[in-house]
Amino acid sequence: MKIVMPGDRVGSTEEYIKGRGVYEENGELFAAVAGYLVIKDRVASVESFSNIPEVMKGDVVLGRVVDVRNTMALVEVVSKKGEERTLTTRSLGLLHISNVDEKYVKDISEAVGYLDIVKARVIGDNLRLSTKEEDMGVLKALCSTCRSEMIREGDMLKCPDCGRVEKRKISSDYGKGEW
Ligand SMILES: [Zn+2]
């Protein structure tokens, strides 16, 4: 199924009928929420990721970054702190650039990378996430060139194989193997 983010174009009103989670602007249809795009009987709708009964506002979760775009990152939430089991429902959380760090973040790709493992707090509905706290952020990152696990060096991460240096919002738990 296709994953869409708020503001993504899903089609035109000539192609589809506006369904749930979709809004229209000048004959074009856009996703209003993050979720899976569903086209059924010409109706385009977006099923939001919000429905994880096991996760609530205030919870700390562990997830994998599956997409990084413009001002947002999508995080597949796999585990909840305090419960060692993996969640039965896989769901996607949304990390907006304004919730990444206390400090100003100009480009979200300087804070999280594709397939990074992150620790985040759930701050609102639709699995909105924040990594502002010191121990929140990236716990494990792979080099974008050679896919080796990167090692922390001060505020940066360095690849032990190719020497590449990358920037992240690094959790104080980075590389500890626990969270
Ligand atoms: Zn590398």
Phi, psi of 4 (to 5 degrees): -125, 155
How many angstroms is it from 152 CA to the middle of ligand 1? 13
Tell whether the model's pLDDT for residue 67 goes beyond 60: yes
**Predicted pLDDT at 88:** 63
Q: Is the pLDDT higher at 84 or at 177? A: 177
How many angstroms is it from 59 CA to the middle of ligand 1? 33
Give per-residue pLDDT as tens, 154-175. 999 999 999 999 999 999 999 8
Between 11-15, 28-32, 159-163, 174-178, the lowest mean confidence (pLDDT) is in 174-178
How many angstroms is it from 164 CA to the middle of ligand 1? 5
The DSSP symbol for 150 reads P
How many angstroms is it from 78 CA to the middle of ligand 1? 26
Confidence of residue 85 (pLDDT cuts 50, 70, 90): low
**Domain boundaries, given as residue ranges, for the chain:** 2-48, 60-137
How many angstroms is it from 125 CA to the middle of ligand 1? 37
DSSP 13-28: TTT-EE-TTEEEETTE
Q: Is the domain covering 60-137 a CATH 2.70.150.10 domain?
A: no
Topology alike, domains 2-48 and 60-137: yes
How many angstroms is it from 121 CA to the middle of ligand 1? 29
Burial label for 107, CB within 10 Å (0-12, 13-18, 19+), is: exposed
Which of the following CATH numbers is that of domain 2-48: 3.40.605.10, 3.90.550.10, 2.60.120.620, 2.40.50.100? Answer: 2.40.50.100
